[in-house]
Structure 1
Amino acid sequence: MVTIMRILLGILFVAHGISKFQMGLGNAAGWFGSIGLPEFAAYVVAYLELIGGIALIIGFATRYFAIGFMVMLVGAIVTVKLPVGLLGNAQMAGYELDLALLVMAGYFAIADERGMGLDRLLFKTKTQ
């Protein structure tokens, strides 16, 4: 079950990363700037979502990418989503999805068991 959860989390982040690339990173950067965030953050977020999502899917550096996602999600909640509330409003979604993804990423940041993936194959411990 943990492997399915990790792969699903990765797929969701890859989808969000791809959407930023499809809209154009310049457009995503412009949107970040329009809400008062540094425009370069859009590039960081897009690449983190895409590369980190792929890493989660294959189970590589799971803990480190999960920590990166946690930082990104807390930033998104605090800077963008918190003012519109848990469920959002007519203009923007709330932070319910971000909160669920944050909890999932938190699990992978602290869990010793990350399921089947490259982490397990490359970094076997004597207890496994």
Structure 2
Amino acid sequence: MEQQQVMMLTEMLKQMMRGILAKSNVTIHCLAEETVCHADMADRAAHESDRNMMLIMSQRDRIMLEEIRNALERVELGEYGICFECGEDIGLARLMAQPTATLCVHCKAALENERMHVSNPYGATEYLFDK
């Protein structure tokens, strides 16, 4: 991969990180200021549901931040854009779509295909998404 492409993807990763950090600051602020008392059970349930969704989304953001940090570390080590499985270059189109990717399209497809097939104890193959 060309140095210019790596620099472009690095900037994309840094923008993603800034966006997530800005969003997480708002989430933390919202959760910290939460002193609402709802008399109505439906309002309380809706509020609790919203709070749980916010917590789930913040957990997903933490995972994404870790993936971004790992990708930036691979850039520093000169290992960015190299498939963990086969050692081949990860295509630019894949990295543009998923800058934190660690597998090339072929290895990712093989992994997904492997996950879709689950063997049952009787030897027959079941498909996870068949039903």
TM-score (norm 2): 0.37
Higher strand share: 2
Higher RCO (Cα < 8 Å, 6 or more apart): 1
Higher helix share: 1
Q: Look at both structures and tell me which one has the larger radius of gyration over its CA atoms.
A: 2
